[in-house]
């Protein structure tokens, strides 16, 4: 797993946000600093434009002796003592080669310039890095050795014969992930080597060592073990040196280290370094993980269930939806009626706006003033309800979701903050009430738009057909004029007779022309409107029955549910929960999962 420097800084920031000034915060910061140094070393290689070979291992394994065998300059060899004695042990990073490293620190590093002509020829220019023992009791030396492990793509892992089964080898193995590794087994008794191959217990020990190395460093490329006879037993150091050099050249040649392969090693070493950081951070915070995980899981569980709970109540109550459907269908029935159908359209509009008060409308037509006032009151109420329902269709979903999200989630956020902040030192909990939480369901705008289309589509598909609307209107108009035609025909007949007498020259008087009283005409209109109103009531009731309205409302609900499911599945609708503390806590828990 490759971790960018920015992620390392985020780990440090998240730890600080969750644990405050606790000791674990400083320890994680130190681990992140070491990681960033390792990354810088891998990326830059300390500015060495040549192959870097690091000699690594525990203390007292013969690392410096191995380094001296690759150097032909006797003067430099004398400057590199080796041994188990404190004064002989390597406690600094020792660089040997034709190219010096960048940013050399004299207090912890030393560079021996050595031309390539005075080093064993491996086919390309290289620089040697002799490291202190990784298990050195000198903390500074051990830390230098650990940091140096990330520098070189090629590592000579030196292990003494009697230390093959030592636990320290496993610690080192975890640090060589992604490298080209040549296991060098030093101080091997001559009788354990037969024709250059291990024999007896050594063969079994090497098999166990290789299995453990492959398990702990699966991305490393291991060569066969290079066995170096113990010259203190044989008394022939030159022979042991020759065996080592010859075997090393064979193994370096078998690796075929091209630039492409070294680039692959670079990526793998970066990933291994990131993995070590994850493991280290997990190790540091694992004591607090159960409490942290419990707090995060409770809030995360609620946030996952919240969209479903909120969306389930988006359409409001069933009765409210049916009322809205009925109003829209009635308005559509009136709107589709042509203005030519007078007074049918007028009566239908009046009844539509006074639904629930039709009895008072009828009494008002009969001349009851109180009933007229009640009808006007119902008219105002229905206009307001229609306006409110229109706004509900346009903005209701957005408003309700935001309100419900805030009401349901804020108490959980407060509880989460209190639980997590208990992980911090007591003196560092003062900002518990200063954190802000942003929460909203994204995708509600899209749902609101689709909701409008769903509702309009349902009304469109279930509205009374236009041809049937005109038939209703024609029947209503005929019904009105069937009652109104009597007085109108009588009046106009007398008017036409009087006019005829005038134009024919017959004796006529103004009294011959009809002059009905306004009350007569008003009474005639009222009497004609009453049956028309009853007819309109029947049309509205029959065409918009309760069963029909419920069927339309059910279709609206079903289509909304399908739409919501589709939007949630596609990720359009999701809870955007912008809580800094939760994000930091979840990030730390993700490190635990990756580890």
The answer to whether residues 544 and 325 touch, using CB atoms and an 8 Å cutoff, is: no
- The residue among 153, 173, 125, 150 whose CA lies nearest residue 264 is 153
The answer to whether residues 572 and 303 touch, using CB atoms and an 8 Å cutoff, is: no
Sign of CA dihedral 314, 315, 318, 319: positive
List Cα–Cα distances, 300 to 294, 437, 577, 585, in angstroms. Answer: 10, 14, 10, 11
Residue 98 in tokens: 């034709």
Angle at 240 between CA 236 and CA 246, to 5 degrees: 145
**Class of residue 268 by CB neighbours under 10 A (exposed 0-12, middle 13-18, buried 19+):** buried
Please tell me the predicted confidence (pLDDT) of residue 302: 66
DSSP 392-418: IIIIIHHHHHHHHHHHHHHHHHHHHHH
Please tell me the predicted confidence (pLDDT) of residue 88: 43
Residue 577, φ and ψ in degrees, nearest 5: -115, 95
Angle at 185 between CA 182 and CA 191, to 5 degrees: 140
The answer to whether residues 375 and 381 touch, using CB atoms and an 8 Å cutoff, is: no
List Cα–Cα distances, 249 to 123, 167, 343, in angstroms. Answer: 9, 29, 110
Please tell me the predicted confidence (pLDDT) of residue 9: 83
The answer to whether residues 152 and 53 touch, using CB atoms and an 8 Å cutoff, is: yes
Please tell me the predicted confidence (pLDDT) of residue 309: 60
Residue 514 in tokens: 């009809």
The answer to whether residues 199 and 193 touch, using CB atoms and an 8 Å cutoff, is: yes
Please tell me the predicted confidence (pLDDT) of residue 324: 74
List Cα–Cα distances, 162 to 89, 169, 186, in angstroms. Answer: 19, 12, 9
Q: Which residues of the chain have pLDDT under 50?
A: 1, 84-88, 261, 263-264, 357, 359-365, 367, 369, 371-376, 379, 393-394, 432-434, 594-595
State CA 162 to chain mean position distance: 52
**Buried/exposed code over 191-220 (b: 16+ C-beta within 10 A; e: otherwise):** ebbeeeebeeebeebbeebeeebeebbebb
Give the fold, CATH level 3, of 47-258.
Answer: Rossmann fold (3.40.50)
The Cα–Cα gap between 317 and 27 comes to 56
Cα separation of the two ends of the chain: 10
For residue 131, give the 3-state DSSP assignment. coil
Residue 71 is given by DSSP the state B
Kindly give, in sequence order, each residue whose CB lies less than 8 Å from that of residue 344, ignoring residues fewer than 6 positions away.
Answer: 337, 472, 473, 476, 477, 480, 532, 536
The 8 Å CB, 24+ separation contacts for 9-17 are 10/587, 11/277, 11/281, 11/587, 11/588, 11/591, 13/584, 14/584, 14/585, 14/587, 14/588, 15/281, 15/285, 15/588, 17/580, 17/581, 17/584
Helix (H) or strand (E) holding 290: helix 289-312
Q: Write down the domain spans for the chain.
A: 47-258, 304-473+545-594
Bridge partners, 579 (sequence order): 437
């Amino acid at each position: 797993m490759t971790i960018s420097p920015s992620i390392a800084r985020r780990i440090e920031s998240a730890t600080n946000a969750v644990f405050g000034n606790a000791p674990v915060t400083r320890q994680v910061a130190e681990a992140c600093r070491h990681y960033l140094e390792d990354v810088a070393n891998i990326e830059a290689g300390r500015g060495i434009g040549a192959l870097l070979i690091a000699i690594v291992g525990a203390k007292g394994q013969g690392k410096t002796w191995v380094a001296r065998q690759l150097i032909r300059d006797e003067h430099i060899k004398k400057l590199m003592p080796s041994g188990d004695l404190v004064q002989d042990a390597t406690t600094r990073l020792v660089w040997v080669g034709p190219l010096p490293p960048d940013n050399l620190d004299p207090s912890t590093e030393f560079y021996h310039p050595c031309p390539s002509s005075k080093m064993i020829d491996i086919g390309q220019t290289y620089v040697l890095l002799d490291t202190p023992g990784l298990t050195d009791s000198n903390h500074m030396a051990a830390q230098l050795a650990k940091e140096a492990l990330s520098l070189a793509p090629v590592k000579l892992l030196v292990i003494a014969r009697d230390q093959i089964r030592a636990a320290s080898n496993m610690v080192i193995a975890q640090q060589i992930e992604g490298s080209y590794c040549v296991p060098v087994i030093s101080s091997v008794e001559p009788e354990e080597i037969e024709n250059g191959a291990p024999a007896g217990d050594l063969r079994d020990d090497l098999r166990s060592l290789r299995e453990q190395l492959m398990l702990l460093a699966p991305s490393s490329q291991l060569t066969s073990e290079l066995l170096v006879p113990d010259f203190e037993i044989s008394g022939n150091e030159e022979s042991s040196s020759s065996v080592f050099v010859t075997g090393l050249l064979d193994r370096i040649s078998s690796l075929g280290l091209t630039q492409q392969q070294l680039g692959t090693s670079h990526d793998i070493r970066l990933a291994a370094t990131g993995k070590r950081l994850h493991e280290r951070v997990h190790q540091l915070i694992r004591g607090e993980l159960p409490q942290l995980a419990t707090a995060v899981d409770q809030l995360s569980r609620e946030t996952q269930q919240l969209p479903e709970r909120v969306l389930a109540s988006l359409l409001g109550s069933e009765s409210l939806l049916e009322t809205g459907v009925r109003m829209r269908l009635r308005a559509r029935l009136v709107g589709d009626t042509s203005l030519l159908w007078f007074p049918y359209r007028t009566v239908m509009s009046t009844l539509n706006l006074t639904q629930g008060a039709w009895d008072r409308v009828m009494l008002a037509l009969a001349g009851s003033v109180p009933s007229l006032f009640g009808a006007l009151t119902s008219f105002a109420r229905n206009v307001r309800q229609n306006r409110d329902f229109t706004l509900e269709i346009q903005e209701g979903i957005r408003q309700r979701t935001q309100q419900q999200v805030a009401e349901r989630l804020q108490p959980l956020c407060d509880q989460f903050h209190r639980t997590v902040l208990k992980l911090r030192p007591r003196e560092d909990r003062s900002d518990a009430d200063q954190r802000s939480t942003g929460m909203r369901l994204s995708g509600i705008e899209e749902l609101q738009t689709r909701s409008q289309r769903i509702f309009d589509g349902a009304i469109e598909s279930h509205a009374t057909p236009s041809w049937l609307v005109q038939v209703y209107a024609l029947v209503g108009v005929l019904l009105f004029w069937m009652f109104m035609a009597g007085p109108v025909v009588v009046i106009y007949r007398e008017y036409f007779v009087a006019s005829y007498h005038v134009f024919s020259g017959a004796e006529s008087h103004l009294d011959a022309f009809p002059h009905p009283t306004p009350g007569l005409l008003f009474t005639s209109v009222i009497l004609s409107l009453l049956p028309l109103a009853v007819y309109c009531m029947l049309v509205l009731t029959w065409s918009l029955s309760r069963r029909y309205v419920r069927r339309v409302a059910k279709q609206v609900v079903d289509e909304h549910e399908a739409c919501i499911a589709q939007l949630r599945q596609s990720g359009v609708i999701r809870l955007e929960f912008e809580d800094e503390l939760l994000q930091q806590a979840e990030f730390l828990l993700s490190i635990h999962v990756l580890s």
